[in-house]
Structure 1
Amino acid sequence: MKHLPNNIRVVLACLLLCVSQLSMAASADQEVSHLISFIEQSKATFIRNGDEHTSEEAAEHLAMKYRKAKRYAKTADDFIANLASKSSWSGKPYTVILADGTTLTANKWLSDELILFRKTEKPQ
């Protein structure tokens, strides 16, 4: 690359950066989609601002938050921290009651699932 003119090197560097950013965005969308599907299929009870919600309702709510506030979720980790862990209205943390009665914060539950997904998901 040293033999290329400076302007060509700059263009190539910009192209590589763009491809990298697009890849990261696609990966984040894939991971967030997985988390939303995971929530929907969990049959857990979600507590949001003191009210109980089904897993389907929670998945629908978080999908809506992601669509409307995607700028705050550049990564799946951002999605968990900024959108899926607490109410943007009250600031109260979301909690999850699993089928076996275990109660967890949504942050812990989704973070654990994201770690598992990243370990098991095959790159495409």
Structure 2
Amino acid sequence: MEADSRPDEFDPFEAAIDDALNSLPHGLREAINNVEIVVEDEPPYGQPLLGLYRGVPLPRRSSNYGGVLPDKISIYRGPLTRLARGDADRLHREVKHVTLHEIAHHFGISDERLIELDRY
């Protein structure tokens, strides 16, 4: 994971992302393949997003998959910070939720299926 912070400073985004990853069962953590998680300030202009997965979900990868750039999960600092309104616990919960949501997309789980599972 990369973030826009200095290594010696506590970053609540990094902490929440690490917590999200550590909350996954070992087998799922091991299955996350060729993914970079980054914290960015804002989503692309005009897109009201908290996070975004860009890449090829695991179920769509063929046996020829290789030699490609990593998939990318972007977690957007600005919208999440505004959503939390200064509440550090809420910020942690929201960042963790968004991270898990975007990881679900890496595993090929659609927004529709996440809604069905009450995990949207």
Query: As a proportion of its length, which structure holds more helix?
Result: 1
Higher relative contact order (CA 8 A, sep 6+): 2
Q: TM-score range by the shorter chain?
A: under 0.3
> Which structure has the greater CA radius of gyration?
1
